[in-house]
Amino acid sequence: MAKLIYSAIASLDGFTVDADGNFDWAAPDEEVHAFFNDRERSVGTYLYGRRMWETMLYWETASTGDDVPAVEREYARIWRAADKVVYSSTLDAVSTSRARLERKFDPEAVRQLKEAAEQDITIGGPGLAASALTAGLVDECHLFLNPVVVGGGTHALPAGLHLELELLDERRFGSGVVYLRYRTARST
């Protein structure tokens, strides 16, 4: 059975996007990007909320040539090789290869996807991830905390959620980013 992983890059105060809609401060440097690539290599399917999808679509056509850093070339290849499920009630279609559209988040369908999948599944952004966290479907949370406080915006984790977590791994980077890998124990 595959794991469902919620992965997010957030500020120290827990926001993925600030109140002005910016997340420039979340852009990984080469060291973090290389680590991120290593983690993503085992992912077979990405579950995306529509907004996160619109951001990540960049990787469908991003250069894989010498004009971009090696970590970006590598990530573009990793991303294109994975399946994507996009959740949206407003998009007409997703025309990208290896992507399909779902109109609503069906916990039972995701449970079955986990059972059938041979490679791990990740979920993002926070709006969609809230549904999976609330349904108790998320097995691990991987957080990249950036050394910045932004004061408001989109919460990485939803209000009202109670989760017990077990720390599985951590890592610090030269930029001051800290990676925290937690297993979810139970939700109430």
Ligand X SMILES: NC(=O)c1ccc[n+]([C@@H]2O[C@H](COP(=O)([O-])OP(=O)(O)OC[C@H]3O[C@@H](n4cnc5c(N)ncnc54)[C@H](OP(=O)(O)O)[C@@H]3O)[C@@H](O)[C@H]2O)c1
Q: Of 117, 127, 135, 165, which lies in the binding site for ligand X, with binding defined by CB under 6 A?
A: 127
Closest separation between CB of residue 60 and ligand X, Å?
Answer: 14
Query: Is 18:11 a contact under the CB 8 Å cutoff?
Result: yes
Q: Of 6, 7, 126, 184, which lies in the binding site for ligand X, with binding defined by CB under 6 A?
A: 126
Judged by CB under 6 A, the stretch of 60-68, 76-84, 124-132, 169-177 that binds ligand X is 124-132
**Residues in CB range of 184: below 8 A, 6 or more apart:** 136, 138, 139, 140, 141, 163, 164, 165
Q: Considering the rule CB under 6 A, would residue 122 count as an interface residue with ligand X?
A: no
Query: Is 83:44 a contact under the CB 8 Å cutoff?
Result: yes
| CA distances (Å), origin 152, targets 8, 17, 63, 111 | 16, 8, 33, 33
Tokens of 136: 């108790």
Question: Distance between CA atoms of 173 and 101, rounded to whole angstroms?
Answer: 36
> What x-and-dash track marks residues 91-120 binding ligand X by CB under 6 A?
x------------xx---------------
Contacts to ligand X from residues 20-59, by CB under 6 A: 23, 26, 49-52, 55
Nearer to ligand X, 26 or 43 (CB): 26
Closest separation between CB of residue 53 and ligand X, Å?
Answer: 7
Question: Distance between CA atoms of 62 and 80, rounded to whole angstroms?
Answer: 10
Q: Of 110, 128, 143, 177, which lies in the binding site for ligand X, with binding defined by CB under 6 A?
A: 128
Chain-centre distance of CA 40, in angstroms?
10
Question: Distance between CA atoms of 132 and 107, rounded to whole angstroms?
Answer: 7
Q: Of 66, 90, 162, 185, which lies in the binding site for ligand X, with binding defined by CB under 6 A?
A: 90
Q: Considering the rule CB under 6 A, would residue 125 count as an interface residue with ligand X?
A: yes
In the complex, which residues of this chain contact ligand X (CB under 6 A)?
9, 16-17, 23, 26, 49-52, 55, 87-91, 104-105, 125-128, 131, 154
